[in-house]
C-alpha cells in the first residue's frame, strides 16, 4: 500500500532535491538554470521529470539525468522515477531564474 502524501509536499521535496544537482560547468543548480521543464507526480508517488541540457552534446548528457533520477529516488515516499530528455524547446538563458541570472552576471 502506497503511503498517502500531499502531492504539493512531495512536489516541493522533489524541487528541493533538484536544487542540489548542479551542472558541472555552471555554478548554478539545474532547477534555477532552467533545465527542468516539468515535474509530474501521480497517485502512486511516481515521479516523471521532463528536462533538457544546455546543449544536446553536453559532456554530462549521460550522467546528469542519472544523477537526477538517483537523487529523487532517495526521497522515501517516491516509488518510480522516470527522466525524459527533450530539446524542444531548446534551452536558452531566458529559461534561467532571476537568481541564476544574477549569480552568473546576466543582470
Question: DSSP secondary-structure letter at 90?
Answer: P
Residue 1 pLDDT level (bands cut at 50, 70, 90): very low
> Domains of the chain, with CATH numbers?
7-87 (3.30.300.130)
Residue 91 pLDDT level (bands cut at 50, 70, 90): very high
Strands, sheet with 36-41, edge to edge from the N-terminal-most edge strand: 36-41, 47-51, 81-85
pLDDT in tens, 24-40: 888 899 999 999 999 99
Residue 2 scores a pLDDT above 70:
no
What is the C-alpha separation between 29 and 16, in angstroms, rounded? 10
The separation between CA 62 and the C-alpha centre of its own chain, rounded to angstroms, equals: 14
pTM: 0.91
Amino acid at each position: 500500500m502506497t503511503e498517502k502524501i500531499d502531492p504539493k509536499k512531495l512536489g516541493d521535496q522533489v524541487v528541493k532535491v533538484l536544487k542540489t544537482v548542479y551542472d558541472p560547468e555552471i555554478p548554478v543548480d539545474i532547477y534555477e538554470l532552467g533545465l527542468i521543464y516539468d515535474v509530474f507526480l501521480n497517485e502512486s508517488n511516481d515521479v516523471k521529470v521532463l528536462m533538457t541540457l544546455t546543449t544536446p552534446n553536453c559532456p554530462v548528457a549521460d550522467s546528469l539525468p542519472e544523477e537526477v533520477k538517483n537523487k529523487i529516488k532517495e526521497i522515501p515516499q517516491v516509488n518510480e522515477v522516470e527522466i525524459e530528455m527533450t530539446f524542444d524547446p531548446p534551452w536558452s538563458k531566458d529559461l534561467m531564474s532571476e537568481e541564476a541570472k544574477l549569480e552568473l552576471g546576466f543582470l
